[in-house]
């Protein structure tokens, strides 16, 4: 596990900035080397997850399951980092206002 929860706040698509989604998550990684990569590339990882959340509408979030969101975040992390693997994501908190 990465061991340092990451919090991302975004406006869902189609809300004109009137609604907010907050996600706090941690990542299951393949080793200590990947933890170092995440530490070095944390800004890029956070930005990529922020962009992902910005494409989701409120209906996507309500309709979709947390497991699908976990998978999408893990895939986004894997596409962003230069090496290593994020196997899974643990959603600590998900708030839609």
d(CA 37, CA 20): 29
Question: How much is the pTM?
Answer: 0.90
Answer whether CATH 3.30.479 is correct for domain 6-96: yes
Mean pLDDT of all residues in 23-44 = 96
Whether the CB-CB separation of 87 and 78 falls below 8 Å is answered with no
Which H or E run contains 91?
strand 86-96
Whether 64 shows a pLDDT value over 80: the answer reads no
Q: What is the predicted pLDDT for the residue at 75?
A: 97
Mean pLDDT of all residues in 38-43 = 97
- The pLDDT tens digits of the residues spanning 9-31 come to 999 999 998 999 999 999 999 99
Whether 62 shows a pLDDT value over 90: the answer reads no
Candidates 1, 8, 93, 96; CA nearest to 52 is 8
Whether 49 shows a pLDDT value over 90: the answer reads yes
Classify burial at 69, counting beta carbons within 10 Å of its beta carbon; exposed 0-12, middle 13-18, buried 19 or more: buried
């Amino acid at each position: 596990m990465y061991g340092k929860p990451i919090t991302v706040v975004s406006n869902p698509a189609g809300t004109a900035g009137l609604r907010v989604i907050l996600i706090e998550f941690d990542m299951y990684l393949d080793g200590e080397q990947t933890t170092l990569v995440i530490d070095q590339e944390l800004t890029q990882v956070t930005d990529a997850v922020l962009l992902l959340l910005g494409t989701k509408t409120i209906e996507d979030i309500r309709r979709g399951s947390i497991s699908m969101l976990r998978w999408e975040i893990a895939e986004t992390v894997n596409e962003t980092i230069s090496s290593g693997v994020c196997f899974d994501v643990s959603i600590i908190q998900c708030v839609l206002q």
